[in-house]
Structure 1
Amino acid sequence: MIRRACIVWPALLLAGCSMNPQLEMPVAPVAAAYPLANAMDEAHAADLGWREMFGDPRLQRLIARALSDSRDLRIAVLNVEAARAQFRVQRGAMLPAVEVAGSYSRQRTSAAAEAEAGRGSEFDQFTAQAALTSFEIDLFGRSRSLSQAAFERYLATDEGRRATQIALIGAVADAYLAERLADEQLKLTEATLSDWRQSLDIARRMHAAGQNSGVDVAQAEGQVRQAEADLEARRRVLAQSTNALALLIGGPLPEDLPPPLSLAEQGIRTQLPAGLPSDLLVRRPDIREAEHQLVAANADVGAARAAFFPRLSLTAAFGFASGALDSLFNASSRAWSFTPQVAAPIFQGGQLRGNLDLAEVRKSVAVANYERAIQSAFREVADGLAGRATFERQLDAQRQAVATTARRVMLSDLRYRAGVFGRLELLDAQRDDYAARSALLDLERENLSNAIGLYRALGGGLLEYGAQD
């Protein structure tokens, strides 16, 4: 037994040479710098914790609730556990499986089989053994490649969980802003409807006094009815926004939430530093996920290559067998077996070549997915930087437009009451002012959403507090 073991151990030491092809990561197919980058981009927004990014205490509570109760994030965590278990299964295949077994049997032979004795005989059989069952000695690295592929997919799944967390935080913040926008649009419509009802009342009184025509009253009534229709639409949007937010956080909104802040009071940082495009390779979990998937696909190619070569497996057992239990472990009761086996593929009907071709194609797909992930991340950051550079100026212009339409409403109302102009001019001024105020609310929300998108695109959301903490 010892001499045979000396023959096996060198083979075990030689096991594990890899057939994996040399993997060279593709060059990032993006520019070396972002468009519209500036001096602030020496830092990186991903170092900013999400509690520092989002200053509204109500939003912070909602994000914390989502991180603990969201079903999407829970599924991502369970997927990580499943990938980890799969890796343990594949890694276990590289190690010898040793089993210990004991048995007892009692037999009787027939009288015909023992003609001389003229009668059958009975005897006991006790056995105890430790067995090594069909252990593959990984001479060409097939099992090691499969284990590496499983490990890389586990790492990819864990990066997918991180990407899900980033996406979840951004989605909760966006949904919260949508709810805040719907609420403020509803309040604007309510205030506007109240003003227009007062204008309708004035138009009716002036008509009763003979100071205007029935056309003015009809115009004012039409304006009020349109505002009433808008009011119901705003209520519907608010209810739907609340439902979307509840879905993201994993349950109904808690009743003890802090009071909400308006869009103008959110305190979300809109001027975020972007760093360099090369930072995305380590900051973005989805890019790291694609990278691990590429390494796993490369290991699959190595396993497919190794399948063309012979496989050496070993089965061995050592134990004791005796007819009496008290003599089972005597030296004379020892028994052993040693069965090495070599299997070499001769004809597989093209399966081995097909498996190799498939593995190589999947590797090419993984390369394309990796490059696409980088390009998509670059584009998302570039879009966010375009918003960073333009939204503030657009907001200033829109605020001036609101001030102008408000002044026009005031002057038109004075002229209408004085009888200088008709109702139509006042109606147009009021509609323009309502549209300008509504557009300002939309623009404020878009500006904040752009900041959230840039924060998410840069890989922000994994830290609760800043890296300096």
Structure 2
Amino acid sequence: MEAMTNHYRPKPRASAWAASIAAAVATLGIAGCVNYAGIKSDKQIAPPSAYETKQSLPAEGGQWPAMDWANQFGDPQLRKLIDEALADNPTIDQARARIEKASSSVGTANSALYPKVTGSYSWTRELYSANGSAPPPINGTWQSENNLLASASFDLDLWGKNREHLRGAVSQEKVVEAEAEEVRITLAASVASTYNQLARLYVLRDIEVREVKNREDIGRITDGRVGAGLDTNVERQTAYGETATSRSSVSELDGQITTVRYQLGALLGGGPDRGLKIANPSLGEGASIALPDNLPADLISRRPDIVSAYWQVDAAIHDVKEKKAEFYPDINLSAAAGLDAFGWGKFLTAGSGQLQAGPAIHLPIFDAGELRAELKGRYADFDYDVATYNQTLINALSDVATQVTQIHSADHQLVDAQQALDAQSKAYQLALTRYKAGLNQQLQVLNADDNRLAAETAVVNLEMDRRTMQIGLIKALGGGFDASRAGLAANGETPIPVASGGTETH
């Protein structure tokens, strides 16, 4: 934008400035032919009530997860591990860095709302040509020039372009803050799930250790039967092989336990050795499962991914408004005052003063469709963000419903699995007793033991799976996040209501 300058002229009166600016704006406004007519969007974010959830997400009088949700499992070490992961972890540091960057963008956008003042000083030493344009006595001599200038400029922002840019930057900062909360919740849930996996492996290892003893007992019985001529060396070798297989299973589980410990060490933000120092888990069942009332409506403020998607839509709206403001005259006021003189003798005298002031006005008249194309792009971003929000809400509702269904299914399966384990344990004891008495063959005992082992393993896996699902449900319900407490809450029943005419402004 070209600045109109007046050197060594009297400062124009404010009324004359206002009249000049008004006339220029009116003239350019009439002349301007670039407009955004016909470019709009009718997309809207969906309220939770738009989706049917009464059967899958019934009101059960439950509570939303608290920030200390890990305490319900009765293992103090789990809470400490989660706190450690959240306190010093590269993943968390990355999220904090993104917040700082977004905050700096807000500061930059905010600065555009205020006048800019700069100062400069220059000193030059120059030999002027004797045959050039410089008049005597300057021509043909060395001269020093001192130039001191203070400048100020201010964008009037008549159409709110800078204000919309600031609002969009604030919304983007909230997007990043919500994403950081999602990182925190995901990390905490990952630590808990991996810790539960460690607990699973230790329980399975205990089962296999007992199984080694069972197979050794069968082997001793077989040795006695071989001595009595009731069994052959085939049964003896079979018993030895079964015992070795059980010992191999213990070794395999030892390797898996070490691997999971390494994974926990990485989640805690430490090296592999950190995982080796974790004590054996002692997790309990956790709290009973009951969904909160008014779940679909309140979920939008409890899930940070939904909150993040909301603020992304809000930022897109401000981006559209910012781009629309570029279709209107852009007016900047600038002024500068200072001193300019050859040498030092007259530098600080009134005659060396310099003053320049005036408005700069810009209006797009013909740009070959560039602004309209850019506005269409902003609307496309808005439509995409609206669709992303709606899909995020759908996924969140499905996530909660899925976790609850799986937990209820696991509860039903556990009843049958426990009955199966009781029956298979009795069958094994009967087969073992009959084998000792010479009434059964070895194969019947081994088969009964395999069935008992499979039933016991099934019960353990269901119990551990249920706890993993419970952790998943806690995460699906927001993991203790509350947009109001985090300063990220939206206003209104639907976070961003959009008028039927779309998002057109001005």
Task: Give TM-score scaled by structure 2 length.
Answer: 0.81
* Aligned residue runs from structure 1 range 54-65, under 5 A: 54-65=73-84
For 2:285 and 2:309, locate their aligned partners in 1 and report how far apart those are by CA, in whole Å: 34
> What is residue 29 of structure 2 aligned with on the other side?
none
1:3 maps to which residue? Answer: 13
Structure 1 range deviating more: 49-58 or 63-72: 49-58
Structure 1 residues not aligned, in runs of 5+: none
Does residue 1:368 correspond to 2:387, yes or no?
yes
- Tell me which residue corresponds to 1:401: 420
Matched, 1:26 2:36: no
SS for the counterpart of 1:447 is helix
Cα offset for 1:244?
A: 1.3
Q: Which amino acid aligns with 2:433?
A: L
Once the 2 structures are TM-superposed, how far is the Cα of residue 258 of structure 1 from its aligned partner? 7.4
Moved more, 54-63 or 265-274: 265-274
Summarize deviations over 1:300-353 as a string: whole Å, max 9, x none: 222232233332233321223344657545444332112422222233333222
- Contact map agreement 1:127 1:319 (CA 8 A) in 2: yes
- Of residues 56, 68, 71, the one that matches 1:35 is 56
2:324 equivalent among 272, 296, 305: 305
Superposition CA RMSD, Å? 3.2
What is the CA–CA distance in structure 1 between the aligned matches of 2:459 and 2:374, rounded to whole Å? 59
The answer to whether the 8 A contact 1:37-1:385 is kept is no
| 1:93-145 deviation per Cα after TM superposition (whole angstroms, max 9, x unaligned) | 34332101123334454444578769744554333221125x54323222222
Q: 1:169 aligns with which of 184, 188, 200?
A: 188
Deviations 1:120-174 (A, max 9, x none): 44554333221125x5432322222222222211110000000110111100000
- The residue identity in structure 1 corresponding to 2:311 is H
8 Å Cα contact 1:272-1:455 kept in structure 2: no
Q: Does structure 2 conserve the Cα–Cα contact (< 8 Å) formed by 1:46 and 1:283?
A: no
Quick check: which one's helix share is greater? 1
Corresponding residue number in structure 1 for 2:287: 269
Q: Please say if residues 282 and 288 of structure 1, whose CA atoms lie closer than 8 Å, have aligned partners that are also in contact.
A: yes
Matches within 5 A, 1:51-450: 51-112=70-131, 120-133=140-153, 135-252=154-271, 254=274, 259-262=279-282, 265-275=283-293, 276-323=295-342, 325=344, 328-450=347-469
- Percent identity (aligned): 24
Output the CA distance in 2 between the equivalents of 1:76 and 1:120: 65
Name whichever of 103-112 and 344-353 sits farther off: 103-112
Q: Structure 1 counterpart of 2:150, which letter?
A: A
Decide whether the 8 Å contact of 2:95 with 2:180 is kept in 1. yes
Q: 2 CA distance for matches of 1:85 and 1:445?
A: 45
Question: Secondary structure of 1:346's match?
Answer: coil
Q: Is the 8 A contact 1:203 1:217 kept in 2?
A: yes
Q: Once the two structures are superposed, what CA deviation does each residue of 1:161-195 show, in whole Å capped at 9, x if it has no partner? A: 00110111100000000111112212211220122
The superposition leaves residues 346-369 of structure 1 with CA deviations (integer Å, 9 ceiling, x where unpaired) of 333332222112111111110111
Further displaced range: 409-418 or 121-130: 121-130
Please list every run of 5 or more consecutive structure 2 residues that lacks an aligned counterpart in the other structure. Answer: 1-10, 26-35, 487-506
Moved more, 77-86 or 326-335: 326-335
The secondary structure found in structure 1 opposite 2:383 is helix
Aligned residue number for residue 455 of structure 1: 474
Q: C-alpha separation between the residues in 1 aligned to 2:19 and 2:216? A: 95
